[in-house]
Structure 1
Amino acid sequence: MPEGHSVHRIARQFARNFVGRPVQASSPQGRFAEGAAVLQGREMLQAMAVGKQMFLEFEDAVWLRVHLGLYGAWDFAGEIVADATIASANGRMGQTNQRGTDLDEAIFDDAGENSLTSIGAPRRTRVHVRMSEQTSGLSDEGDEWPPPVVGQVRLRLLNETTCADLRGPTACALQSTDEMLATIAKLGPDPLVGDVDEGEERFVRTVRRKPTPIALLLMDQAVISGIGNVYRAEMLFRARVEPHTPGRDVPEEVVRELWRDWVRLLSIGVETGQMMTMDGLGEAEYRAAMASRDDRHWVYHRAGLPCRVCGTEIALEEIGARKLYWCPSCQR
């Protein structure tokens, strides 16, 4: 499932390529035909993310809410404006990421991702499929416009230069402004939305009154927005917190540091497109980490391997139906 940094980057992509333009909307799959008919011809006014959910505003106070969930992804085609680069390419954002951006400092990781311009959390099998369809940044579809529909596309948004196809989302629904605000009100604070200090106080108050293990609280989107399995494991290790500690028993200063660490890590994730959670790396180490996911994290996906700090075997268990990685020595 894409974590918060991915969704913020997807929203940024919509802001660059769609906001301020009318869209053609369709549902090739047919499951969102009525909603697409409402969006047809409307100008997109705003794109924003809150945690793992994205909200696109259209004329006449119509909002599109999208939650990618475990299997959702956005496929972009055509002219994709990424930072200062305009690329004619295909790009997937969500489970995989942007394609075709050609930078002098590109670093390709072990799944073929350009780490410095990545958008999402890559899924290796889809990455390989996407790469196999490309030639010099272009898919086999060539210059055909709009590009042919491939697979089960829930929603296609199209303007004169860019196409965005949504596949497999957990949620894709139209909302009024009041409904959108009600949805956001149920979510925990996001460091990139609203006042960061107010978000900290809200997070601290919530955690400090809960008997729930802190490992579960960090994954609860009503407590804090955007954290998934990777960031959860890494943040707990970085703070040296025993994952099973009830939230109310975690010292207040530690809870505050968890929030502030999320502020830092989310910012890094949005800017780099990668969940880089190791600090103090030299230039060569940093480039190696960007090129290999195994070198980006302290404990995540390292079950049975020695802790990078103390050498203790990294533990793996299931908690809340998700895998938890942690060091039984460093996190006592």
Structure 2
Amino acid sequence: MPEGHSVHRIARQFARNFVGRPVAVSSPQGRFADGAAALDGREMTGARAVGKQMFLEFAGQAWLRVHLGLYGAWDFAGEILVDPTIASANGRMGQTNQRGTDAERILDDAGENSLASIGAPRKARGHVRMSEQTRGIADAGEAEWPPPVVGQVRARLLTDLTCADLRGPTACVVATPDEVREVTDRLGPDPLVGDPAENEERFVAAVRRRGVAIGQLLMDQAVVSGIGNVYRAEMLFRARLDPHTPGKRIPEELVRELWRDWTRLLAIGVETGQMMTMDGLSDAEWRAAMASRDDRHWVYHRAGLPCRVCGTEIVLEEMQARKLYWCPTCQR
């Protein structure tokens, strides 16, 4: 399931390519036909994300709310104006920006150029997928326009230059301003939305009044927005915190540090497009991590492997039907 950084990146891509332009909206699959008809031809006036939810605003006080869920993805094609504020192509996020100005090309084991994925400031005739398994821009030359529909496309958003196809979302609905407000009011704080100090206080209060395991609370979108399986496991390891510890038993300062760490990691994820959760890496280690997803994390997806810190075998268990990775020595 896409975590918060992916959804913020997608919203920024819409802001860059669609906001301020009339949009033709259709539903090739047919499941969103009525909603598409209601939005078709309107100008897109805004795009924003809160946690894992994305909201596209259209003229006439109409909104398109999208939740990608486990299988959803957006495919962009055509003239892609990539936001220069994300995936800076040469920054070393979370550490020091000591790389040159020319974009390096590091392909990971999924074939993605991690440094240039949705980010180097450029205009391209190409194709890019934005989901948890984000793909980099692929130039398409003089491709057919508009591009042919491939597979089950729930919604197609089309300007004269750019196409965005939505596949497999959990939610794709037209909403009124009041309905958008109802959804966002139910969500926990997002470090990129609203007042930072107020967000921190909301998170601290929500965690410390509950007797629920912190491993469950971090996945509760009413407690904090945007955290999924990867960030949950990594944040708890970075805090050396047992996932089963009840929220109300965690010292306040440690809860605050959890929030501040989420703020840091989310910023790294939005800018680089990668859930890079390891720090203190050498140049060679950093390049290896960018080239291999398995080298970007302390514990996630490392069941049965030795802990990178103490050597203890990383444990895999289920918590509320989701996989949880943790070190039983470091996190005691």
* TM more than 0.5: yes
CA distance in 2 between partners of 1:222 and 1:318 (Å)? 21
Q: Contact 2:73–2:131 (CA<8 Å) still a contact in 1?
A: no
Answering whether residue 113 of structure 2 is matched by residue 114 of structure 1, we say yes
Match of 2:41 in 1: 41
The code of the aligned residue for 2:324 comes to L
2:104 corresponds to: 105
Residue 226 (structure 1) aligns with: 226
Distance 1:175 1:26 in 2: 16
* Superposition deviation, residue 137 in structure 1: 2.5
Shift of 1:84: 4.3
Give the TM-score taking structure 2 as reference length: 0.89
Q: Is the 8 A contact 2:65 2:175 kept in 1?
A: yes
- Which residue number corresponds to residue 138 of structure 1? 140
Report the Cα offset of residue 107 of structure 1: 1.5
User: Structure 1: which amino acid aligns with 2:53?
Assistant: Q
Q: Distance in 1 between matches of 2:131 and 2:176?
A: 30
Give the gaps of 5 or more residues in structure 2. Answer: 86-101, 119-129
Deviation string 1:265-312 (CA, Å, 9 cap, x unpaired) is 000000000000001112221111111111100000001111000111
Distance in 2 (CA, whole Å) between partners of 1:190 and 1:321 is: 24
How many residues get paired? 305
In the alignment, the residues of structure 1 paired with residue 117 and residue 7 of structure 2 have an alpha-carbon distance, to the nearest angstrom, of 12
**What are the superposed Cα offsets for residues 130-154 of structure 1, whole Å, 9 maximum, x if unpaired?**
x9xx9x6228xx5211111111111
Q: Kindly, what percent of the aligned residue pairs are identical? A: 75
2:83 & 2:56 partners in 1: Cα distance?
A: 20
Alignment of 1:112-261 (within 5 A): 112-118=111-117, 120=130, 122-123=132-133, 137-138=139-140, 143-261=143-261
In 2, Cα distance between the equivalents of 1:325 and 1:118?
Answer: 27
Scaled by the length of structure 1, what TM-score is found? 0.89
CA distances 1:95-149 after superposition (whole Å, capped 9, x unpaired): xxxxxxxx731211011011113355654xx96xxx9xx9x6228xx52111111
Task: Output the aligned Cα RMSD.
Answer: 1.7
d(CA) in 1 for partners of 2:148, 2:163? 11
Partner of 1:90: none
Contact between 1:317 and 1:325, CA under 8 Å: does it hold in 2?
yes
The range that moved more, 167-176 or 142-151, is 142-151
Q: Which amino acid aligns with 2:23?
A: V
Aligned pairs for 1:84-103 (under 5 A) are 84=84
108-117 vs 314-323, greater mean Cα deviation? 108-117
Contact 1:118 1:274 in 2 (8 A): no
Higher helix share: 1
